[in-house]
Amino acid sequence: MTLAERFVVLAAECERMSEMSRDQTNKAAWLRMAERWKLCAVLERQHARGPARQRSRRTRLEEAPLH
């Protein structure tokens, strides 16, 4: 299991906890944690693609005109 896949599993666990929670504050907290784990999964997938993508973005930023 990749790290990104593990993050998705953690997000699903948080969503299940939210469904089981009766308290609205706790339910909202579980859903926020789920969203953060999903974001971690997205960021990990982007990171796993390698430095080529990052390098191209950095190059574009370096070539951008200064105003």
Query: Residue 34: which domain range?
Result: 3-63
> Residue 44 contacts by C-beta under 8 Å, 6 or more apart in sequence?
2, 3, 4, 7
Contact status, residue 38 vs residue 8, Cβ threshold 8 Å: yes
Q: What is the pLDDT along the chain (67 residues), one digit of tens a residue?
A: 999 999 999 999 999 999 999 999 999 999 999 999 999 999 999 999 986 655 555 555 555 555 4
**How crowded is the C-beta side of 38, counted as CA atoms within 13 Å?**
11
The number of distinct structural domains making up the chain is 1
Residue 19: helix, strand or coil by DSSP? Answer: helix
**Which tokens sit at 16?**
């299940």
